Structure 1
Amino acid sequence: MPVTVKVRRVGQRGPPLELPRYETDGAAGLDLRADEPVTLAPGERRLVPTGLALEIPPGHEGQVRPRSGLAVRHGVGMVNAPGTIDSDYRGEVGVVLVNHGQEPVTFARGDRIAQLVIGPVVRAELALVEDLASSGRGGGGFGSTGR
């Protein structure tokens, strides 16, 4: 069942861009667009504004995820993937892009730069204990399960 997310345009950097939308019937993410032109030099990272502020319903979050095509074609990804948008955040959504490629990459205003996935959030209650139940993995991490 769809969840309604309220959207407000912010920044006024030019004519209004189209609102994020699902590009296919099976798409999980809405495409976010750059609200200003940006060129990323190799190794450079930058916060790119989208020109949008959101009101995500309580009990949900927004996840900003990289676009796979940008990674494959240009080596562009996100530093903090996924980025989390909390339901009580009302500021402009920004995307922290990084150029891992060998050449500068330029995005025009309106280019698709990331995906927004809306999903439910489960809030945990923490219980301080003396011992944890054993598991087959134990404390092994960072590659301990093999290649």
Structure 2
Amino acid sequence: MSPTVKYKKLDPRAQVPAYATPGAAAADLCALLDAPLTLAPMQRALIPTGLAIELPDAGCVALVYARSGLSIKHGVCMANGVGVIDSDYRGELRVPMVNLSTESYTIQPGERVAQLCIAPVWQANFAPAEELSDSQRGAGGFGSTGKL
């Protein structure tokens, strides 16, 4: 069952998030710009989308991810890695971007700049513990391999 996510266009030019293919896990978010915006190397900018969303309940989170094509081809990615949109946020979706390349990159009005993924979320109950159970990896691992 797919959740229904309500959206509001804050600007009539805003583009509704859309899945590029039937198998896409995330919908594209597009830049709402009056003119092209050039990011110099190492420059950051907050890119508006002109959209606000309402998640169905506290059991959902919206996650904003970089587009891999922009990252790999041009070195342009999200400044914060992954954006977390809580279920009670109603403001404009804006994408913090950074140009990690050595060359300038120009973001065009309407360009797909990020991906929006809706996922389930659980709020944990945190409990103090004197000891934690053993695991195969243990406490001394580095990364996923447990090795340097």
TM-score normalized with structure 1 length: 0.91
Segment drifting more, 89-98 vs 16-25: 16-25
Aligned to 1:71: 71
Aligned counterparts of 2:146 and 2:13: Cα–Cα separation in 1: 49
1:85-128, Cα deviation, whole Å (9 max, x unpaired): 00100000111111111111111111000000001111211111
The one-letter code matched in structure 2 to 1:24 is T
Structure 2 runs not aligned, ≥5 long? none
Matched, 1:99 2:96: no
Find the partner of 1:17 among 14, 19, 25.
14
The Cα of 1:139 is off from its aligned counterpart by 2.2
- 1:23 counterpart letter in structure 2: A
Match of 2:24 in 1: 27
Superposed structure 1 runs of 4+ greater than 3 Å apart:
141-144
Match for residue 89 of structure 2?
89
What amino acid sits opposite 1:65 in the alignment? Y
Structure 2 SS opposite 1:131? coil
Within 2, Cα distance between the matches of 1:99 and 1:123? 34
Does the aligned pair in 1 maintain the 2:29–2:116 contact within 8 Å?
yes
Residues 1:133 and 2:133 aligned together: yes
1:42 maps to what in 2? 41
Mapped to 1, the partners of 2:80 and 2:140 lie a distance apart of: 24
Partners of 1:4 and 1:51 lie apart in 2 by 19
Structure 1 stretches lacking a partner, 5+ long = none
Separation (CA, whole Å) in 2 of partners of 1:18 and 1:131: 51
Distance (whole Å) between structure 2 residues aligned to residue 45 and residue 76 of structure 1: 10
TM-score, reference length from structure 2: 0.90
How far, CA to CA, are the matches of 2:44 and 2:139 in structure 1?
34
What RMSD in Å do the two structures reach over aligned CA positions?
A: 1.5
Size of the alignment, in residue pairs?
A: 144
Q: Shift in Å at residue 142 of structure 1?
A: 4.1
Question: What letter corresponds to residue 136 of structure 1 in structure 2?
Answer: Q
